[in-house]
């Protein structure tokens, strides 16, 4: 019944919280509260992770995230950050063309790319 | 092997330099070399910390450690601005009551110049479980030699820095100090010509 359901939800908890109903009940309630809150937080965290990845990808080409997005908005490219981060991870050449489009739409950022470094496709398939 | 034979000129820190290399798996990482000569301490440390975290790669994931190996050379030539050489103090508490120890930057550089950069970078990394692993990826050397000559190294080019223009007050103070130094030299050379020569002879 309720006890059984709670102990089922308490699998993997630490110490007595997975075995004893009184402690498990508290912990399970807290866990359900956290999961409610984190279903909303996950959307924020994922967007922040996409932005970090896009930032890293564009900085390899000498543009930072803010200017890159500004250029894309000017050109009315409506790709969202999720797709942009996937492109920056798996399709480096397409991403470079996007960066060039953004750079031409916006006062050019000086290129800080190291002369010896190429975007190794092998290092991207992680 | 020849590289290793040549590299054992500093076998004092060879053990420390190669320590824990086996623990770092995934040797698909790059080896980046930072030259600390003439770099400002904090600005260099912030660049190193981004590279060590792996935040310059688009495949960054916060739960796994994917940073490159960073080698810092010429650690004894790192610069600081202002009066930090004498005024920046490192504090630490030993755990016994009343035993708050301190050491200035100057003494620390005399004792172990690599610790200065290591502390700076470590304190810029996020305090989580990956911090120790990232510390293991940092290798700092005081002079310009390192035993990793046989690896594929890549020098790291620091991004150009826009130095802020001096505030008018500071600028005027600097000009005043320069003028004073010039006047002292001129005045001294005019009045005490011989004594000055004698002084420089003694000094040289």
Q: Where residue A125 falls among pLDDT bands split at 50, 70, 90?
A: very low
Total Cβ atoms within 10 A of residue A84: 24
Q: Where residue A23 falls among pLDDT bands split at 50, 70, 90?
A: very high
- Residue A79 and residue B107: Cα distance in Å, rounded? 54
Contact A53 B60 (CB under 8 A): yes
- Residue B65 and residue B67: Cα distance in Å, rounded? 6
pLDDT at A119: 42
Q: If you average pLDDT over residues B131-154, what whole number do you get?
A: 86
Distance of CA A115 to CAs B89, B154, B155, Å? Answer: 39, 11, 10
- Residue B130 and residue B118: Cα distance in Å, rounded? 16
Q: Where residue B88 falls among pLDDT bands split at 50, 70, 90?
A: very high
* Chain B nearest CA to A33, separation (Å): 23
Nearest to B58 among A53, A116, A117 (CB): A53
- Residue A112 and residue B22: Cα distance in Å, rounded? 34
Q: Is the pLDDT of residue A105 over 60?
A: yes
Tell whether A57 lies on the interface with B, counting CB pairs under 8 A: yes
Tell whether A47 lies on the interface with B, counting CB pairs under 8 A: no
Q: Percent of chain B at pLDDT above 70?
A: 86
pLDDT at A89: 92
Q: Is the pLDDT of residue B49 over 50?
A: yes
The residue written with tokens 């397409």 in the block is A94
pLDDT at A116: 43
CA nearest neighbour of A126 among B135, B68, B133: B68
pLDDT at B10: 60
- Of B16-20, B37-41, B72-76, B78-82, which gets the smallest average pLDDT? B16-20
Q: If you average pLDDT over residues B197-203, what whole number do you get?
A: 50
CA nearest neighbour of B72 among B103, B107, B44: B44
pLDDT at B5: 42
- Give DSSP secondary structure letters for chain B: -HHHHHHGGGTTTHHHHHTTGGG-------EEEEE-TT-BHHHHHHHHHHHHHTTTSTT--TTS--PPEEEEE-GGG-B--TTHHHH-EEEEE-SSTT-EEEEEHHHHHHH-HHHHHHHHHHTTS-SSTTHHHHHHTEEE-SSS--S-TTS-EEEPPPPP--PPPPPHHHHHHHHHHHHHHHHHHHHHHHHSHHHHHHHHHHH-
Minimal Cα distance from A51: which residue of B? Answer: B58
Q: Is the pLDDT of residue B198 over 70?
A: no
Q: What is the mean pLDDT of chain B?
A: 83
Total Cβ atoms within 10 A of residue B187: 10
* Chain B nearest CA to A79, separation (Å): 17
Q: Is the pLDDT of residue A114 over 70?
A: no
Tell whether A88 lies on the interface with B, counting CB pairs under 8 A: yes
The answer to pTM > 0.80 is: no
Residues of chain B with C-beta less than 8 angstroms from the C-beta of A116: 154-155
Q: If you average pLDDT over residues B101-112, what whole number do you get?
A: 90
Q: Where residue B201 falls among pLDDT bands split at 50, 70, 90?
A: low
Contact A52 B66 (CB under 8 A): no
Tell whether A111 lies on the interface with B, counting CB pairs under 8 A: no
Q: Where residue B166 falls among pLDDT bands split at 50, 70, 90?
A: confident
pLDDT tens digits, one per residue of A37-72: 999 999 999 999 999 999 999 998 888 899 899 999
Nearest to A116 among B28, B59, B154 (CB): B154
Tell whether A114 lies on the interface with B, counting CB pairs under 8 A: yes
Angle formed by the axes of helices A65-74 and A92-105, nearest 10°: 70
* Chain A nearest CA to B96, separation (Å): 33
Chain centroid to CA A29: 28
Q: Report the range out of A43-47, B80-84, B99-103 with the highest average pLDDT.
A: A43-47
pLDDT at B12: 60
* Chain A nearest CA to B147, separation (Å): 22
Q: Retrieve residue B198's tokens.
A: 């004698």
* Chain B nearest CA to A124, separation (Å): 7
Contact A56 B57 (CB under 8 A): yes
């Amino acid at each position: 019944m309720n006890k059984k359901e709670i102990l089922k939800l308490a699998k993997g908890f630490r110490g007595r919280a997975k075995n004893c109903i009184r402690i498990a009940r508290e912990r399970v309630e807290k866990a359900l509260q956290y999961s409610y809150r984190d279903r909303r937080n996950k959307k924020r965290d994922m967007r922040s992770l996409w932005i970090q990845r896009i930032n890293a990808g564009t900085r390899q080409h000498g543009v930072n995230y803010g200017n890159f997005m500004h250029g894309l908005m000017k050109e009315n490219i409506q790709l969202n950050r999720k797709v942009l981060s996937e492109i920056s991870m798996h399709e480096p050449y397409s991403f470079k063309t996007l960066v060039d489009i953004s750079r031409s739409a916006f006062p050019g950022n000086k290129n800080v790319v190291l002369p010896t470094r190429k975007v190794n496709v092998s290092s991207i398939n992680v | 092997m020849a590289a290793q034979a040549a590299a054992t000129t500093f076998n004092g820190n060879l053990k420390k330099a190669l320590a824990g290399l086996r623990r770092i798996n995934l040797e698909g990482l790059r080896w980046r070399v930072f030259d600390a000569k003439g770099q400002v301490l904090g600005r260099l440390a912030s660049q190193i910390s981004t590279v060590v975290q792996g935040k310059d790669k688009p495949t960054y994931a916060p739960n796994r450690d994917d940073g490159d190996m960073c080698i810092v050379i010429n650690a004894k030539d790192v610069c600081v601005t202002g009066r930090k050489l004498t005024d920046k103090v490192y504090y630490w508490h030993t755990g016994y009551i009343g035993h708050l120890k301190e050491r200035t930057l100057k003494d620390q550089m005399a004792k172990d110049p690599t610790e200065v950069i290591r502390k700076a970078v470590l304190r810029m990394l996020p305090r989580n479980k990956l911090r120790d692993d990232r510390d293991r990826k940092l290798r700092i050397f005081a002079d310009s030699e390192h035993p990793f000559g046989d690896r594929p190294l890549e020098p790291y080019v620091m991004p150009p820095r826009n130095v802020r223009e001096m505030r008018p007050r500071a600028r005027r103070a600097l000009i005043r100090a320069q003028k004073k130094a010039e006047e002292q030299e001129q005045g001294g050379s005019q009045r005490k010509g011989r004594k000055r020569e004698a002084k420089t002879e003694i000094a040289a």
